[in-house]
Amino acid sequence: MASRKSHVNFGLRGVRDIRKAYQKLPKKVANKVIRTAVRTSLKPMLAEAKQDAPKGETGLLKRSVKLRVRAKKKRGSIAMDVRTGDGDFKGATYYGAMVNFGTKRQKAQKFMERAFDATKNRVRKNARQMIREGTIREWKQL
């Protein structure tokens, strides 16, 4: 049966000095640093999910795999999803979650999980490095 909880999260923790420098940046600048780093770092995961998504008859599901920002209230926390269309069980590609997770009648294809597993370490490493470099760059410009 398909699950509505399809988000897989992992945190990034950096060197203590970088975290302190980040916290001293203006909120708008700090969010820009993180947003840019995470968006850029997630591109390999997005490419992997698009490549592995089943094409089907129309190719709509494969074309609907996108990178989207989710609203988060906590400072220093920006959530982004690699997802199908409008999200699980929503929009024209509502069936993406059923294809990925499976149903009683259909075996799970797990294309999103495979994309995550194949790229998570590279994404984490790249994001950490880009956040560090972006924080240092922005701090020097202040």
What is the value of pTM for the model shown? 0.73
Structurally, the chain folds into a number of domains equal to 1
Domain carrying residue 93:
16-141
> Residue 2 falls within a domain, yes or no?
no
> Residue 3 falls within a domain, yes or no?
no
Could you please report the per-residue DSSP string of 59-81?
Answer: -HHHHHEEEEEE---STT--EEE
C-alpha–C-alpha distance, residues 107 and 99, integer Å = 8
> Residue 36 falls within a domain, yes or no?
yes
> Residue 8 falls within a domain, yes or no?
no
Per-residue pLDDT reduced to its tens digit, 34-89: 888 888 999 999 999 999 999 888 888 888 888 877 766 665 566 777 778 777 77
